[in-house]
Amino acid sequence: MRIALSTDHAGFEKLKQLKEFLSSSGHECINYGPTSFDSDDDYPDFIRPAAEAVASGECEVGIIFGGSGQGEAMTANRVKGVRCAVYYGSAKAVDAVDVSGSSAADEYEILRLSKLHNNANMLSLAGRFLNNEAIELAVSIWLNTNFENEERHVRRIAKIDGENS
């Protein structure tokens, strides 16, 4: 899979390690920057080109980092055709029910739902909240989950993208 990668200074080191992990798993990674650490960088300068690569089909998905991941996701979601989910770390729903209807949902269900129901094509990771082991597990779960392609989800995504108002 061809994956767009990008970050700001807060995720710079973690992105390098993620790229190694993804490459060793057989993925082609395109790094949209930054190429050197600068604590004064502006994340939109790097996140937007990664999001545009996903929207255009140049990359199949994108994984981006920030301190919280919020601003990065907001930037990515400004690009038409991008659906970027934010992930801070494991969490369990108050009324945990997994997507199959079982009550055995685990703390990664939110990652699965972002793909199963929303067909997220970008994932924004909170670099200050996740260690490398958690990042690798989260990314593996997210990449290995496929969109359900049910009519209701397709309809909703079309509305997000402005295709059916």
**Signed CA dihedral, 129, 35, 115, 69: sign only:** positive
Instruction: Determine contact, residues 18/87, Cβ cutoff 8 Å.
Output: no
Query: Is 109 a residue of the active site?
Result: no
Q: Is 72 annotated in the active site?
A: yes
Evaluate the omega torsion of the peptide bond into residue 34 and state whether it is cis, within 30 degrees of 0.
yes
Q: What whole-number distance in Å separates Cα of residue 98 and Cα of residue 113?
A: 9
Q: Which of 117, 136, 148, 153 is catalytic?
A: 117
**CA–CA dist 43, 126 (Å, integer):** 13
Active site residues: 72, 117
